[in-house]
Amino acid sequence: MPGFGDGRTRDELGRSYYPNPADAARELQYPADYAHLASKLRRQAPLVMSRMSDEGVYVVCSNDACIRPEWQRRAPFRQIELAAGHSPMLERPLELADLLHDIA
């Protein structure tokens, strides 16, 4: 989405994070009231595709404004769709937990 990542910075290990909780909530699509929970999540490390297993499952977030769902659907894994934005673990935690439980 236009402007995505403008409020983000990287630490010395290359992991991204948002110093401003309001920027994080807006860009990562979760309720601003959950910023205290989001601050407990690990910083996002760069993704290395070669480390991913072809036996994985990809949760396509159909309302994601950060990573277009059309791109997500090209992932080479079994896919499950969830009507959520970029941060389903904060936006729709019970639905995400149910999905993960069902595939475990």
Q: What is the pLDDT of residue 101?
A: 94
Structural domains of the chain, ranges and CATH numbers in brackets? 9-103 (3.40.50.1820)
Q: What is the pLDDT of residues 30-81, one digit of tens each?
A: 888 888 777 777 666 666 666 666 677 889 999 998 888 998 898 777 889 9
End-to-end alpha carbon distance in the chain: 32
The residue among 30, 13, 12 whose CA lies nearest residue 21 is: 30
Tell me if 82 sits within 8 A of 63, measured CB to CB: no
**Tokens 């929970």 identify what position?**
37
CA neighbours within 13 Å on the CB side: how many for 100? Answer: 8
- In terms of pTM, does the model score above 0.85? no
Quote the CA–CA distance of 44 and 91 in Å, as a whole number.
18
